[in-house]
Chains A and B, each alone.
Chain A
Amino acid sequence: MIAEDVLCPFCGCLCDDIKVEVEEGKIVGVKRACRLGSSKILGHERTTAPMIRVDGELLETTYEEAYDQAAQILKEAKRPLLYGWCSTVCETAKLGILLAEEVGGVVDSTATVCHGPSIIGIEEKGMAGATLGQIKNRADLIVFWGANPAEAHPRHTVRYSSNARGMFTPDGRGGRKVIVVDVRETRTAKNADKFILIKPGTDYEVLSALRMIVQGKGEIVPETVAGVAKSDLEEAAAMMLAAKFGVVLIGLGLTHSRGRYKNVDNALSLVADLNGFTKFVVMAMRGHYNVAGFGQVCAWSTGFPMAVDLSRGAPYFNPGETAACDLLAKREADAMMVVAADPASNFPRATVGGMVEIPVIQIDPFPNPTTLLADVVIPTAVCGIEAEGTAYRMDGLSLRMKKVVDSPYPTDEEAVREILDRVRRLSDDN
């Protein structure tokens, strides 16, 4: 059997044209997906049974025991952190936020270590965005800033951006210009019409200089800006102004270098400025396939897209104080639940230290470095392959992920619901 138009549960491109070949309930082939997507869809090592840490060692146990233990940990905690949600469906996130309300916890997503700064930038300036198809059909200039889709989002260029063909872009890459701004010459940069090499941590200054030139105030800008020749920036600005439809695609190179959300803020301002002359949009190249979806669910449920502290019953949002990294780095959290994420790999070392000293619950189909720190491990089905549900693409478009094969494991949604039910029973008992 071939399952058609399957959504890929890997990156924020959320490609929805994948063909998955299934034989006797097993996936035997994948077509159209990139190598990253294929490897996830074909599957790799799984956690096969729930586990609880006893005397420093993870021992297999029953789901009932694991859920009970998880509920107990969350219920007892004064500042539990419920983190992750990027590689699971929105239906899980909804329950996760409800669970955070029930236990008076802080709920946050992996945005804290990827595009969280982009979101804070949007809070300052708003964002002029578009769906990916708008870029495919109209964009004649693509700017990748600190983004390297050739490595991180392999099909982005072909499906949506530099090489895509559409209504007003019949020649694909041939009819487009590509500018890359980065701190090293990436594979994406090698394919650019114009590459601007900048020093790490100087994005803000370079953006300000570009904005000055775009606004016609270039004579004030010094001859070099953070090592970049003004003439290079003038050339880039001219390309931007000459475009009929331009787009700036923002990567982690911008959000995680010195200046962080202010870099994004300035990039958003550049795009707003450019709209005074031509059409320009901007988009964050979101990493995990549904990190955007958690932000959406969290916003409509709590009013805020991430880093929501529910300890006093009313949502309180203040990244820098209430984000997962903040709680762990300051050693505030006294318990942590990790759903569909791997903070032990992705967080700064000082932050991971905050996980070592507290009970950690992991809900995930796969073992990963976080498993090594976990006290309760609950294996689940893989969303988009073994469980259906909603995910939001990097442009905010929501799609329904499919179930292609059966799984012996509960879904993330079921696992969170089991814990939620137990927490509620514990509350009623008190």
Chain B
Amino acid sequence: MREIRIEPRRKFLVPVEAEGISPDVLAPLTLEEIGRIEVWEGNRRSVLSDLFALSGDDVPGEAADARILLSGDFSRVKRIGEKMTSGMIEAGGDVGMHAGNGMAGGEIEIAGRAGDWLGREMRGGKINVSGDAGDYVGAGYRGESCGMRGGEIRIEGSAGDYLGEHLCGGKITVLGDAGDFPGIANRGGVIVIGGNAHLPGAEMASGAITVFGRARVLPSYQYQETVEIDGQSLKKFLGDLVDGGKGELYVASMEA
């Protein structure tokens, strides 16, 4: 597998947009060509090699055989892995907003924390975050009726608000807590939250949300029965009835 290593040359104060950091874009290029990929630091257009040190294998190949290793602080680098269809990105630390935007395949592995809009409008592939993730994991763009449609996102830490907003498919797992409105306007996706959540499943039309911790349940949800999941006893609700929804919500304990 070809390895391409990218490391910031300095700390960024103004965020950098680098949608070119994707196996699909970089794999067919030599390191020198990769260095000429356009990136933006605020309103300044520059090239990858101006802002990042590049190393690794120099032989162009297929995206599927490429592994991009990000070392250093990428917390202000946005749009990593945008629209990638195959291959691998591994970030040793934090990544900025919009990692895996519109991703269709391949894998992103983030050792640190992910910024907001992780996997926005994702269609396929896998993202794993060892730390926390920000708001709008797997959500859609403003005004769209669909966010993530396929693929899998796994967050080992906690997630922010609006997790999986407008989810139309795929699966999101959060081992820790989720914030406000996880699974809002869910249209067929699956969300599993290991910890607590606030008002899950608002406007849910279909799909399933499971909260293994405590959650505040909307008054527009109807209790069905108690079920066993992974050896734990959970209350099953149907909703969101305010929008004629047929989603399933499982909650371990209810917040008064």
Query: Does A touch B (CB under 8 Å) in the complex?
Result: yes
Q: Which of B41, B143, B181, B242 contacts A212 (CB 8 A)?
A: B242
A208 and B218 form a contact (CB under 8 A):
yes
- Complex interface: stretch among B11-19, B48-56, B125-133, B187-195: B11-19
A176 at the interface (CB under 8 A from B): no
B43 engages A217 (CB within 8 Å): no
Whether B219 lies near A262 (C-beta < 8 A) is no
Report yes or no: A123 in contact with B219, Cβ–Cβ below 8 A.
no
A311 touching B40, Cβ below 8 Å: yes
Residue A222 is within 8 A (CB to CB) of chain B in the complex:
yes
Give A312 to B41 CA distance when docked, in angstroms.
10
| Neighbouring B residues of A211 by C-beta, 8 Å | 220, 242
A50 at the interface (CB under 8 A from B): no
- A-facing residues in B175-234 (Cβ within 8 Å): 180-181, 184, 199, 202, 216, 218-220, 222
Contact of B241 among A212, A319, A320, A330 (CB under 8 A): A212
Contact of A312 among B17, B216, B241 (CB under 8 A): B17
CA distance A230 to B17 in the complex (A): 50
**Residues in A239-286 with C-beta less than 8 Å from chain B:** 258-259, 262, 266, 269
In chain B, positions 130-189 with a C-beta closer than 8 Å to chain A are 135-136, 141-143, 180-181, 184
A311 and B16 CA atoms in complex are apart in Å by 11
Encode B5-37 as 1/0 by CB contact (under 8 A) with A.
000000001110100000000000000000000
- A215 (CB) vs chain B CBs: closest residue: B242
B14 & A334 in contact (Cβ 8 Å cutoff): yes
Do the beta carbons of B220 and A331 come within 8 Å of each other? no
A54 within 8 A of B: no
Other-chain residue from A79, A266, A318 in contact with B142 (beta carbon distance below 8 A): A318
Using Cβ atoms and an 8 Å threshold, which residues of chain A touch B94? none
In contact, B180 and A258 (Cβ under 8 angstroms): yes
A79 and B14 alpha carbons, distance in the complex (Å): 7
Q: How far is the CA of A123 from the CA of B139 in the complex (A)?
A: 15
In the complex, chain A residues whose CB is within 8 Å of the CB of B135:
320
Q: Note all chain B residues with C-beta closer than 8 A to A266.
A: 202
Contact of B219 among A221, A312, A332 (CB under 8 A): A221
CB-contacts of A43-88 with B (<8 A): 77-80
Minimum CB–CB distance for B132 against chain A, Å:
16
A319 to B117, CA, bound (A): 12
Contacts of A212 in B (CB 8 A): 219-220, 241-242
Contact B42 A78, beta carbon cutoff 8 Å? yes
Residues of A near B44 (CB, < 8 A) are 78
By the criterion of a CB under 8 Å from any partner CB, how many residues of chain B are at the interface? 33
Question: Which of A205, A222, A331 interacts with B13 by CB under 8 Å?
Answer: A331
- For the complex, is B116 an interface residue (Cβ under 8 Å from A)? yes
Q: In the assembled complex, which residues on chain A have CB atoms less than 8 Å from the CB atom of B76? A: 332
Is A293's beta carbon under 8 Å from chain B?
no
In the complex, A343 has a CB within 8 A of chain B:
no
Q: Is B97 an interface residue (CB 8 A)?
A: yes
Across-interface contacts of B222 in A (CB, < 8 A): 220
Q: Report the minimal beta-carbon distance from B200 to chain A, rounded to whole angstroms.
A: 12
Kindly state whether residue A124 has any CB partner on chain B within 8 Å: yes
From residue A97, how far is it (CB to closest CB) to chain B in Å?
Answer: 15
Given the known interface contacts A123-B142, A262-B181, A321-B116, the answer about A217 and B241 at a Cβ–Cβ threshold of 8 Å is yes
The reply to whether A311 and B242 contact each other, CB–CB distance below 8 Å, is no
Indicate if A103 sits at the interface (CB-CB under 8 A): yes
Give chain B residues whose Cβ lies under 8 Å from the Cβ of A318: 117, 141-142
Tell me which residues across on chain B come within 8 A of A209, comparing CB atoms.
219-220
Which residues of chain B are near A330, meaning CB under 8 Å? 15
B43–A312 touching, CB < 8 Å: yes
B220:A332 contact, CB within 8 angstroms: no
B14 touches A332 (CB 8 A): yes
The residue on A at minimum CB distance from B238 is A220
The 6 A-B pairs of least Cβ separation, nearest first, read A104-B43, A78-B42, A79-B42, A311-B43, A123-B143, A209-B219
Q: What 7 additional pairs, Cβ within 8 angstroms, besides A205-B216, A212-B220?
A: A123-B142, A212-B242, A220-B219, A220-B222, A311-B42, A317-B142, A320-B116
A-B contact pairs, 16 of them (CB 8 A): A77-B43, A78-B41, A79-B43, A205-B219, A208-B219, A208-B242, A221-B219, A222-B219, A269-B242, A269-B243, A311-B40, A311-B43, A312-B43, A317-B142, A332-B13, A334-B14
